[in-house]
A and B are shown apart, each in its own frame.
Chain A
Amino acid sequence: MLDVALVLASSGCWFAGALLSASSRPPERLATGLGLLGSLLALGAALHLLLGGATSGLVFQVWGLPARLELDALSAAFLLPLHLVGGLGLIYGQRYWPIQTPWGSGRSLRFFYGLLVAAMTLLFIARHGLVFLVAWELMAVSAFFLVGTEHERPEVRRASWVYLACTHTGTLLLTAMVILMAQRMGGLLWIALPTATSPLFEGGILLLALAGFGFKAGVLPLHFWLPSAHASAPSHVSAILSAVMLKTGIYGLLRVSSLLPGIPRGVGGALLALGALTAVYGVGNALAQRDYKRLLAYSSIENLGIILMGVGLGWTGRATHDPWLTALGFGGALFHLWNHSLFKSLLFYGAGAILHATGTRDMEALGGLARRMPRTALVLFPAVLAVTALPPFNAFLSEWFLYRGLFSSLARGYPWSAALGLVALALAGGLAAVAFARFFGTLFLGSPRSEAVEHAHDPAASMLLPMAVLAGLCLAVGLGSFLLLPLLDRAVAVVAPGTPALLAPGLRADLHLLAGVELGLLVLVGVGLAWLRRPESQIPDAAQADLPTWGCGYAAAAVRAQYTGSSFADAWAPIQPGLRRRLPHLRGLFPGGASFRQAFREPFGEVFLAPRVARLAERLLRFRRLQPGHLSVYLLYVLLTLLGVFLWMLLRARLLG
C-alpha cells in the first residue's frame, strides 16, 4: 500500500512540476526540485520492492467500476531506469535547453518532459485497461510534442508527424487488444487468466500485443519512425525516449504475456528470430550514419532487438516448462534493458554536449574533440565500451546472460532459433565495434576536420554530473552484477508466474569469478599505466615537446587526408541497402575534376514505404469530391445517414431473423 502510494505521489510530483514550468513566469528551481523529489520517491519505492518488499496495490473506482494500481517487481524493474534517467535528464536539461528561449520552447519542453515521466510512471503501475490506455496516450502525445520541440525546422516537423502516425496506429491495435482482454477477463481490470479456454482469443491478444507494442519498441519492420524522431528531439529527450519510452513496448509485451495462461512454443522461437534480425539490421544501419545522433538511434534498434531475443528465449522456456531457460531469457532481457538505459542515455547526453559545443550533427565535420572536451571524452569512453558489450562494463554482463541462455537452449533441443540468435549476437557485437570505433574515433580522436571544433569546450558541471553518474553506474554494474541477481529473480517471477528463483543460486559463483577476472583486468591496466608514467632511465630530450604525428615520416599531412568516418566503414557500404552512392566516372589518362556523393535513406521507411504511402495518398484524393464545401451537401449526408440508421433499425429484426 505504502509503496504504490509513493509511486503515485511521485507521478503527482512530476505532474505538478510540469504544470509549474508551463506558467508564464516559471519557478524553475521549484519545478526541478519537485521532479527530483518525485524521482527519489519512485526510486525508493521500486528499490524497496525489488529488495524484498511485498507487492502493494490500490483499488479505486472508475465510473462506478473497480480499477487497480499495483506495484510489483516488474513495474519496479521499469520504474528504476525511468526515474534514474528522468531525474538526471532534468538536471542535464537545465543548461542544455535554457528555460528562457524564443517561442517559449524551453517552457513547453519542460512541461511535456514532466508530463511524459508522470504518464510513464502511471503506465507502469496501471492494472486496468482504460487507465493503461490513457497513460499510454498521454505518454505518446507528450513524446510527440517533445520530438517536435524545434518545430520551426521542416525535417523535425516531418519526424514528429511520422512518429505520431505510427504511435497512433499502435494505439489502435492496443485498443483492440484491451477490448479482447476485457472480453476474456470479464472487465477492464487486468487479472491473470488461469486456464486456456479459447486459443483464438488468446492468440489474438498476443498478436495484437506484438504488433501494437512492436511499434513502440521499434521491432523490424515497425521501426522506421524511430531514427529520425530520436535524432530530431533535444538530446536529453532522446535519452529518455531511447532509454525508457521504447522499453514501454517491452513492458507491455511482458505484462500482457504474464497474464495469459500460456504462450505457444513457436511464438518464442519466432520472436527470438525477429529480435536477431532487428539487432543485426539496427547495427548494420548504424554503421552507415554520418549523423551521430541517428547512429545512436539505430544502435537503440539493435539493443531492443537483443532485448527481444531475451524475451523470445524466455517465452520458449515458459512454453516448454524449462525454468532455467525462462530465468536466463527474461533475466537477460531485463538486465540488458537496465544496461541499455544506462549507457544509451549517457551516449545521448554526450551527443548533446557535442551538439551544444559545435552546433553540428555531422560526424565528418568534427574530430579531435578529446583535446578540447577532455572530460566529456573521459565520461563517454565507458559508454562506448559498454555499447560494444566489452568487459568490464555492464552490457557485457547482460549479453553474457543471453549467451548462456542461447547455449542452454541449444543443449536442450530447440537448436535452430538459438543458433540463429547466437550468430546474430556475435555478428551484432562485431559490427557494433566497427560502428562505435567510428563514432568515438571520428568525433574525439585525430585532428579537427572543420572550424566547428575550434571553440568547443566541456559543458557546464550540471551537464557533466549526470554523465559522470551514469558512467560510474556502467562500471559498477559491470563489476557488481552478482548483487543484482536477487532483484532480477523477483522480476522474472512476475513475468513467468511460478518460476522459482534460479538466477541467484545458479549464477552467483560464476559471476564472482567473472568479476574477479574483470577486477584483475582493471588492476593490470592500472599497473601498465603506472609503468608508462615512471620516468625512463634515459635523460629526457627537452626538444620533443611539440611534435607532429610521425605517420612514416610524412609530417606535413593535411587534415583532410585523415580517414573519415565514412571511409572507416567503407568496406561495409556495398551490403547496406540504405546507402546510395554516386561514383565518379574517370576516363582517359588525365581526367578532369570528379566528385563523389553518398547519401543514406532509411531502407524500409524512406526507400520502400514512403513512395507507396505517397501513391496511396494520391489515390485517396479521389474521395475529396465527397467534400465539396457546400453546407447543403453535408446536410444531405446527415439526412442520408439518419435514413440509413432508421432503415437498419426497421430491417434488423427481419435480416438477422
Chain B
Amino acid sequence: MIRSLLPTMLQFLLHGLTVLLLPPLIPGLIAKTKALMAGRKGPPVFQLYYDLAKLARKQAVFSRTTTWVFLAGPVGGVAAGLAASSLVPFGHTPAPVSFEGDVILFAYLFGLARFLTILSALDTGSSFEGMGAAREATFSALAEPALFLGFAALAKATSSLSLGTMLAFPGTLTARFTGPLILVLAGWAIVYLTENSRIPVDDPNTHLELTMIHEVMVLDHSGRPLALVLYGASLKLLVLGALILTPALPRAPHAWQNWLAFYAALAGLALGVGLVESSMARFRMTKVPQFLVAGVLATGFAFLLMLV
C-alpha cells in the first residue's frame, strides 16, 4: 500500500509545485525568445518573479469608483486557474483530481475567471476598460465553442469525459484518428493564443490602449491585485499549455521521463509562441473574429469526422 501510495503522493507534490512555481517562467521564456529574434538582449528569464516580488510589497491604489468586485477579478482568476490546474494531466502524469465530467468543470472554471475579470474591468467605470471588457466577452464567446468542439471530438474518440483519458489519447492512436487530432490541436492552438492574449489576436506590449484587449482591462490594477493578475495570466499559459501538449506527447515508460518530456515540451511551446510573435503582426480588430471562427471550424470539422 505504502509502496504504491508514495510515488503517487510524490507525483501530486511535483504537480502542485509545478503549478505554484513554474508559471512565471513561461512569459520570461517568450520575452527572451522575442528579444533574441529581434537582436536584443532582453530582460532576464526570471523577470516576472522579480516583478511579482516587487508588486507584493507595494501598496495598491483604488479608485473611488471601485467596489469589492474590483478585487474579484484578480483573486477569482488565480483561484479558478489553480482549481483547474488540479484537473489537467501534465504530460502523461495523471492529474491529482480526475472524474467523469471533469472536462466541463475545467472549461467553466476558465469561464469563471474570465467573467470575473470582465466585471472587475467594468467596475472602474473607465471607457477604455469597458472597451476591453466588451472585446474580451465577444472574442471568448467565439473561442468557447472551439474548445468545446475539440473536447467533444476527443470524448467521442475515447468514450470518456475525463481529461486524463481524453488527453492521453495517442496511446490508442489509430490512423483513423490522426487527422481529427491534428485539426483539434490546430483549433486549440488558436484558442491558446486568444485566451492568453498573444499576437496575432492581442498584443500585450502594445503602447496604444485602443488596440488592446486583455491588457486594457487591468489598467487600474496595482500592487498585490496586479501581482495576482500577472500570476494568473502566466498560470493560464501553463494550464492551457498542458491541454495542448499532452495529446501531442509520446508516452514514456518511466514517470521521470514523462515529466522531463513535459517540461521540454512546455519550453518548446514558449519558444513557439515567441517565434509566432516575432514573425507576424497583430490582426486588425475586425479580422480577429474570422481567425477565431477558423478555430471553431477546425475543431467542428474534427468533431464531424468523429461522428461519421
Contact = CB atoms under 8 A, between A and B. Distances in A.
A437 B138 contact: no
B38 to A, nearest CB: 26
Given A536-B58, A547-B64, A551-B220, A517 B115 contact: no
A377 B124 CA distance: 16
A541 B59 contact: yes
A529 interface: yes
Given A404-B100, A437-B137, A550-B220, A419 B303 contact: yes
Interface in B50-64: 56-64
Interface stretch (A237-245, A261-269, A407-415, A649-657): A407-415
Contacts of A524: 78-79, 82-83
A210 to B, nearest CB: 27
B119 A403 contact: no
Contact of B67 (A374, A430, A514, A538): A374
Contact of B71 (A437, A532, A572): A532
Interface-centre pick from B64, B140, B209 (highest chain A CB count, 10 A): B64
A511 to B, nearest CB: 9
Contact of B100 (A385, A441, A510, A569): A510
B161 to A, nearest CB: 5
A623 B79 CA distance: 69
Nearest to A569: B134
A532 B104 contact: no
A204 interface: no
Contacts of A377: 67, 69
Contact of A548 (B65, B97, B98): B65
A376 interface: no
Interface stretch (B7-15, B151-159, B198-206, B261-269): B151-159
A573 to B, nearest CB: 11
Given A374-B67, A407-B161, A550-B220, A388 B144 contact: no
B123 A410 contact: no
A390 B115 contact: yes
Given A400-B101, A437-B122, A540-B59, A529 B71 contact: yes
B133 interface: yes
Nearest to B101: A404
A399 B57 CA distance: 42
B114 interface: yes
Nearest to A506: B100
Nearest to B138: A571
A385 B152 contact: no
A366 to B, nearest CB: 13
A399 B127 CA distance: 34
Interface residues on B, range: 35 or more
Given A528-B228, A552-B128, A538 B119 contact: no
Interface stretch (A420-428, A493-501, A584-592, A613-621): A420-428
Interface residues of A, number: 80
Interface stretch (A218-226, A294-302, A560-568): A560-568
Given A407-B152, A433-B137, A528-B79, A551 B67 contact: no
**Residue among A403, A537, A571 with most chain B CB within 10 A:** A403
Contact of B97 (A391, A404, A517, A568): A517
A180 to B, nearest CB: 38
Nearest to B228: A528
Nearest to B62: A547
B184 interface: no
A568 B79 contact: no
Nearest to B55: A536
Interface stretch (B21-29, B105-113, B242-250): B105-113
A554 B75 CA distance: 26
For A377, A381, A423, A518, the residue with the greatest tally of chain B CB atoms inside 10 Å of its CB is A423
A448 to B, nearest CB: 9
B83 A521 contact: yes
A568 B130 contact: yes
Given A429-B111, A440-B119, A513 B126 contact: no
Nearest to B63: A549
B32 to A, nearest CB: 28
Contact of A391 (B109, B119, B141): B109
Nearest to B80: A521
Interface in A341-390: 367-368, 370-371, 374, 377, 381, 385, 388-390
B109 A521 contact: yes
Chain A at the B interface: SS class: helix
Contact of B65 (A368, A374, A415, A528): A368
B236 to A, nearest CB: 15
Given A391-B109, A551-B124, A563-B130, A423 B148 contact: yes
B79 A525 contact: yes
A360 to B, nearest CB: 19
A557 interface: yes
Contacts of B135: 571
B5 interface: no
B118 A550 contact: no
B89 interface: no
A103 interface: no
A481 to B, nearest CB: 12
A330 to B, nearest CB: 18
Contacts of B58: 536, 538
Given A426-B148, A513-B99, A562 B57 contact: no
Contacts of B99: 509-510, 513-514
B83 A517 contact: yes
A548 B66 CA distance: 9
Contacts of B67: 370-371, 374, 377, 444-445
Given A423-B145, A513-B97, A548-B63, A567 B118 contact: no
B302 interface: no
- Tell which of B58, B62, B105, B155 has the most Cβ of chain A within 10 Å: B105
A431 interface: yes
Contacts of B60: 532, 536
Instruction: Give the residue among B71, B78, B130 with the most A Cβ atoms within 10 A.
Output: B130
Nearest to B210: A552
B219 A561 contact: no
A538 B130 contact: no
Interface string B147-173: 011001001100101000000000000
Nearest to B221: A550
B65 A434 contact: no
B273 interface: no
B187 interface: no
Interface string B74-86: 1110111011001
Interface string B184-225: 000000000000000000000000010000000001100111
Contacts of B209: 552
B192 to A, nearest CB: 17
A106 to B, nearest CB: 35
A410 to B, nearest CB: 6
A595 interface: no
Q: Sort A-B residue pairs by CB-CB distance and give the 7 closest, nearest first.
A: A563-B130, A441-B122, A551-B126, A446-B125, A524-B79, A430-B141, A528-B75
Given A437-B133, A551-B127, 6 more contacts: A368-B65, A407-B155, A437-B118, A517-B86, A518-B83, A549-B220
Interface of A: 367-368, 370-371, 374, 377, 381, 385, 388-391, 396, 399-400, 403-404, 407, 410-411, 415-416, 419, 422-423, 426-427, 429-431, 433-434, 437, 440-442, 444-447, 509-510, 513-514, 516-518, 520-521, 524-525, 528-529, 531-532, 536-538, 540-541, 544, 546-552, 554, 557, 559, 561-563, 567-572
Interface of B: 56-67, 69, 71, 74-76, 78-80, 82-83, 86-87, 97-102, 104-105, 108-109, 111-112, 114-115, 118-119, 122-131, 133-135, 137-138, 140-142, 144-145, 148-149, 152, 155-156, 159, 161, 209, 219-220, 223-225, 228, 303, 307
11 contacts: A368-B125, A391-B112, A400-B101, A415-B156, A426-B148, A427-B141, A531-B224, A532-B71, A536-B224, A548-B63, A551-B127
